[in-house]
Amino acid sequence: MSHEKIAKMLVVLRKKTEDGALTWAETEDKGIFQASFPKYAVRLFEAANPFENETDFVLQICNDNGDVVEEVRDTDLTSFFEKPYVFMRDLYELARRNAMGVDAAIDEIMISLLK
């Protein structure tokens, strides 16, 4: 597995999400967010760490049949990010806000408040 390639992909996913160039959606499973591409999708979610009493952030790459072709946890990325948990948590939060339309909700509430 090439964690280096995945780390680079995560950086681009974060940048595109921050720029509003990437759209995320909540899947049928609450708390799992997905960005779709022509033949693949990436999913982000929080999951229990099987070895510790903590949670990890997990990225899955799925093919167009929905099969997981690759999975990486923040704990797999310690060689590529100073704080991989924080990086993945921040990306997850960006994806969640994007999928749930948080900015649009805030804008609408502000319009109502300022009337």
The pLDDT tens digits for 30-84 are: 999 999 999 999 999 999 887 777 899 999 999 999 999 999 999 999 999 999 9
Spatial contact of 55 and 81, defined as CB atoms under 8 Å apart: no
| Number of domain units in the chain | 1
User: Which one, of 76, 60, 46, lies nearest residue 13 by Cα?
Assistant: 60
Query: How far apart, in whole angstroms, are the C-alpha atoms of residue 65 and residue 46?
Result: 22
The pTM of the full predicted model, rounded to 2 decimals, is: 0.89
| Structural domain boundaries, residue 15 | 3-113
- In the chain, the N- to C-terminal Cα span, in Å, equals 55
Which residue in this structure is represented by tokens 């909700």?
Answer: 105
